[in-house]
Amino acid sequence: MNDWTEPGAVLPQPTHKQAAVLTTSSATRRWYQPNTPMVDWTGRRVWLIGASSGIGLACAQALRAAGAQVTVSARHPQQVQAWATQDAGVRWLPLDVTRVVDVQAAAREVLASGPLDLVVYCAGYYKAQRATAFDLNQMLQHNEVNYQGALHVLDAVLPGMLAQQQGHISLISSVAGWAGLPNGLAYGPTKAAMTNLAETLYVDLQDQGIGVSVVHPGFVATPLTAQNEFEMPALITPAKAANEMLRGWARGQFDIHFPRRFTLWLKLLKLLPYRLYFPLVRRFTGL
């Protein structure tokens, strides 16, 4: 079951047991929509991992403003802890996604309050790297946070979702995972893995009542992108990114990418044969 109510619908607050079998008048899933639209967030339970800043924090704030009960996890509290002390609908739960035992313990603590309606994996690590300065430790750290951390979270939450036949998993990837780009030697492959992971999860879970989506942001003004030494085209704010994510979930999308004035060009670029793709990338990036 993966039902979401229309805007304005009045929902009684379910008990923990009732939440597992909740049935309501839901937004209709059209034939062209990969997922059931997620429209009404009132009382929905969301766990965002790696969301103490940037896109993750903005998304947590947008979901809370829409009525969701949010749990935010990351290694460092940054702005979240103060927010959580002022709002009973926000919970801060520290977590290092690279430690599988800690992820399992955090998941048990979150699930003790009831099943989750949405899990968003936002944890990310980025350092620009080129093959001419290959750094194995950096390569492995990207993999540990960006990809293996997601596997740790899936291992902790998927059994419960499968048992309840409900919920939605959203993985934050990147347009850097669509094709090879300069400075993306460590980051890009981990995001390509996230995209492939989401695609395979969708294939496996679409008949299990569990929604899956993957988010491909372009350039967003976050602590990660602040280290870039070049002008970032179509740069947007984290708040704008969060709005695009909620809009994508409301439309039942699988591939949520933004801003489209930038991402659509990249989608076209990756369709080209390599003999055209490589010269164009070099020309546009100057690298």
Pairing of strands 211-217, 45-49: unpaired
Pairing of strands 69-73, 90-92: parallel
187 is catalytic: yes
**Which phi-psi region, left, alpha or beta, contains residue 168 (left: φ > 0; alpha: ψ -120 to 50)?**
beta
Q: What is the DSSP letter of 271?
A: T
Alpha helices in 122-228 (DSSP H): 136-142, 149-164, 187-205
Single out the catalytic residue among 126, 147, 187, 202: 187
Cα 196 to Cα 238: distance, rounded to the nearest angstrom: 24
Which tokens go with 167?
A: 């919920």
Distances (CA, A) of 236 to 49, 89, 224, 259, 262: 22, 27, 14, 8, 11
Cα 74 to Cα 84: distance, rounded to the nearest angstrom: 13
**194 in Cβ contact with 255 (< 8 Å):** no
Strand residues in the chain grouped as ranges (E): 45-49, 69-73, 90-92, 118-121, 168-172, 211-217, 255-258
The residues annotated with a catalytic role in the active site are 187
